[in-house]
């Protein structure tokens, strides 16, 4: 029976093979699936490998369900589908199909859908990467640059996120580099994986990390200079950071960092971090964007038709809304309040809960 464990699956395989391509002279005994180095490392702790396999399988299911529910939620409630939320919606579509076909690529190994699932899998993971960059860039435009015309970029986001992966997939398919592998169908090792997954993925993750730094600094500086009343709810500030972090897929950085270590301890730490964060992206986005008063109120209005007890939550968003802060007595306070309100407006689209 073929194992679907994370260690010899798509994520680890793609990243690990790419490093093997870069330093192939140091990996003369490379075998399909995992390098001998990786096999040795995982064999040294078979229990950890087994535990991670089960954890990742569960997390992937949660992520598929979470991303699917996020898509359904914002399709059901158009009033909640603001421009930034639409980008999250498109990202969740890519995550849903990528992770769904990740499973199909295993289950259809012996069937006619094996190679098609490999192509679709690759396409949507690239789309996932590019959408995370689009989301990150939009946060930067709204929070750092305070660009209120950021919506004009949407058509370019679609062209990049759906078009560029198509070009990669066509190029690799034309050279017949989608093959049946040891346990599933995917790209042929090593150069196609390196150019078709590792390079674009690493570029996006690095760009997102830089953007996240500027966004976090802007949020921190704004709250630091804001009136005291704006500093009370640190949990909301953390939620904004967390929402942005998971939305732009920064957990992938653990996987890329992991490949550059060869000391057995450091790479194992990053493997664990990577294994428990990246497969859970869709579920974490669901928690960040759908578990809030506005969404619960909208669902309560639907379910109250069949379940009257749900009516108690119909006005939840209205009853928990806080009044706007009063204008400060001096110009400095007024400026800080205005700046904080601008930030709140931007971050409201991040977690549906503004910082106040």
What is the DSSP code string of 259-289?
Answer: TT--SSSHHHHHHHHHHHHGGGHHHHHHHHH
Q: How would you class 37 by CB atoms within 10 Å of its CB: exposed for 0-12, middle for 13-18, buried for 19 or more?
A: middle
Among the listed residues 14, 10, 8, 32, the one whose alpha carbon sits nearest the alpha carbon of residue 200:
14
Q: What is the pLDDT of residue 112?
A: 80
Q: Decide: 242 and 172 in contact? Cβ < 8 Å.
A: no
239, part of any domain: no
Q: 210 lies in a domain?
A: no
Number of residues in the chain: 356
Please report the pLDDT score of residue 183 as a whole number. 67
Encoding tokens for residue 154?
């949407």
Q: Rounded to an integer, what is the distance from CA 7 to the centroid of its chain? A: 20
- CATH number, domain of 98, equals 1.20.1070.10
* pLDDT score of 57: 83
Q: Within a domain: residue 81? A: yes
pLDDT reported for residue 328:
44
User: Is 240 part of any domain?
Assistant: no
Q: Which residues of the chain have pLDDT under 50?
A: 1-10, 17-39, 322-335, 352-356
Instruction: Tell me, yes or no, whether 244 lies in a domain.
Output: no
Tell whether 297 is covered by a domain. no
Give the pLDDT score at 222: 82
CA atoms of 47 and 168, how far apart (whole Å): 37
Running DSSP on this structure, what letter comes out for residue 79?
Answer: G
One DSSP character per residue, 32-62 reads SSS-HHHHHHHHHTHHHHHHHHHHHHHHHHH
Write out pLDDT tens, residues 271-292. Answer: 788 888 888 999 999 999 999 8
Looking at the structure of the chain, the number of domains it has is 1
What per-residue confidence (pLDDT) applies to 194? 81
What is the domain extent for residue 176?
6-204+251-291
Question: Across-strand partners of 108?
Answer: none
Q: Please, how many CA atoms are within 13 Å of residue 166, restricted to the half-sphere of its CB?
A: 6
Question: How high is the pLDDT of residue 25?
Answer: 30
pLDDT at 94: 97
Q: Residue 179 belongs to what H/E stretch?
A: strand 178-180
pLDDT value at residue 263: 64
122 Cβ neighbours under 8 A, 6+ residues apart: 165, 168, 169, 172, 178, 186, 187, 196, 197
Residue 85: inside a domain: yes
Instruction: Evaluate whether residue 329 is within a structural domain.
Output: no
Position 350 scores a pLDDT of 54
């Amino acid at each position: 029976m073929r194992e679907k464990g994370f260690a010899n699956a798509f994520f680890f395989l793609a990243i690990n093979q790419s490093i093997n391509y870069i330093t192939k002279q140091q990996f003369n005994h490379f075998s399909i699936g995992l390098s001998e180095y990786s096999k040795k490392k995982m064999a040294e702790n078979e229990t950890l490998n087994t535990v991670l396999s089960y954890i990742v399988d569960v997390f992937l299911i949660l992520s598929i369900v979470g991303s699917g529910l996020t898509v359904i939620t914002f399709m059901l409630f158009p009033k909640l589908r603001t421009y930034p939320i639409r980008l999250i919606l498109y990202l969740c579509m890519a995550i849903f199909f990528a992770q769904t076909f990740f499973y199909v690529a295993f289950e259809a190994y012996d069937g006619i859908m094996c190679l098609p699932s490999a192509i679709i899998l690759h396409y949507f993971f690239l789309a996932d990467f590019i959408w995370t960059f689009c989301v990150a860039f939009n946060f930067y435009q709204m929070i750092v640059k305070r660009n209120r015309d950021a919506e004009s970029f949407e058509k370019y986001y679609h062209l990049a996120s759906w078009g560029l992966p198509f070009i990669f997939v066509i190029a690799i398919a034309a050279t017949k580099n989608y093959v049946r592998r040891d346990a599933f169908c995917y790209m042929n090792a090593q150069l196609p994986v390196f150019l078709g997954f590792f390079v674009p993925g690493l570029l996006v993750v690095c760009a997102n990390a830089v953007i996240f730094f500027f966004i976090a600094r802007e949020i921190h500086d704004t709250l630091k200079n804001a009136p005291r009343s704006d500093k009370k709810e640190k949990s909301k500030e953390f939620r904004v950071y967390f929402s942005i972090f998971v939305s732009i897929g920064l957990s992938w950085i653990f996987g890329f960092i992991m490949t550059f270590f060869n000391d057995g301890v450091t790479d194992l730490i990053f493997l664990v971090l990577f294994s428990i964060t990246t497969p859970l992206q869709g579920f974490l986005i669901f928690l960040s964007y759908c578990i809030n008063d506005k969404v619960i109120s909208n669902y309560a209005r639907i379910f109250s038709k069949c379940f009257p007890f749900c009516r108690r939550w119909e006005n939840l968003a209205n009853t928990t809304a806080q009044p706007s802060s009063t204008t400060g007595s001096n110009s400095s306070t007024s400026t800080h309040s205005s700046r904080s309100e601008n930030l709140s407006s931007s971050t409201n689209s991040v977690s549906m809960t503004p910082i106040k």
